[in-house]
Amino acid sequence: MDRPDPNLGKIVVAEDVLQERIRELGKEITADYSERAPLLVGVLKGAFMFMSDLSRAIERPVEFDFMAVSSYGSATRTSGVVRILKDLDLDLTERDVIVVEDIVDSGLTLAYLRRNLAARNPRSLEVCALLVKDGLQTTDLDLRYVGFTIPPEFVVGYGLDVAERYRNLPAVYEYTGSSPQ
Ligand code: 5GP
């Protein structure tokens, strides 16, 4: 980029801090799953970059699957009704599942996903969320692994977008442009 993007505010999580924390999360998961090969379930599209780096920080055999759900742009925020746009390819029966999420805002998406995946009889079901917005969750989400707790402002970068842009930024930025949703 030649000029700074006027829609980007301050850096919320810098690239080196992000990568260091992901290495730590990888170590934790490696230790916790020493006897098991976890199935990482990535929530598209936002989690693709985190999933990629996290998986390389886990020194265990892992398997991958992806799910796509509708988030903003519908009535999701208020209703908690989430639409599955792409379902998993794999059967979860007796699997040790780790849901890999980019960001938890109200927590409604994750609460729905957890219920939905738990009904498929996995042996275990944990959540690894890179970012959690401070104080906005209405239900107890039982997040086993959390990267960072951040202030409740709209952010982009490292997989997170506005209208499909900014996903390739290597750090997380505050978005200061208009109408992000
Ligand atoms: P929740 O259901 O927790 O309110 O929202 C979760 C989903 O909303 C995330 O998976 C993500 O797609 C989107 N989201 C929430 N907060 C942000 C944000 O600050 N920036 C971006 N780009 N997406 C967000």
Instruction: Please report the DSSP string for 23-66 in residue order.
Output: HHHHHHHHHHTTT---EEEEEETTTHHHHHHHHHH--S--EEEE
Q: Number of structural domains, the chain?
A: 1
pLDDT over 70 (residue 111):
yes
Number of CB atoms found within 10 A of residue 79's CB: 9
Q: Are 9 and 173 in contact (CB under 8 A)?
A: yes
Does residue 150 lie in a domain region?
yes
Predicted TM-score (pTM) of this structure: 0.93
pLDDT over 60 (residue 19):
yes
Domain membership of residue 110 as a residue range: 8-175
CATH number at residue 28: 3.40.50.2020
Residue pointed to by tokens 């980007």: 8
Does residue 140 lie in a domain region?
yes
Does residue 37 lie in a domain region?
yes
Question: Strand, coil or helix: what is 161?
Answer: coil
Ligand 1-lining residues (CB < 6 angstroms): 46, 71-72, 77, 102-110, 154-156, 160-161
Does residue 164 lie in a domain region?
yes
105 is catalytic: yes
Give the span between the Cα atoms of 25 and 144, in whole angstroms: 10
Does residue 2 lie in a domain region?
no
Q: Which pLDDT score is estimated for 76?
A: 44
| Span 27-77, pLDDT tens digits | 999 999 999 999 999 999 999 999 999 999 999 999 999 999 986 554 445
**Phi-psi bin for 159: left (phi > 0), alpha (psi -120 to 50), beta?**
left
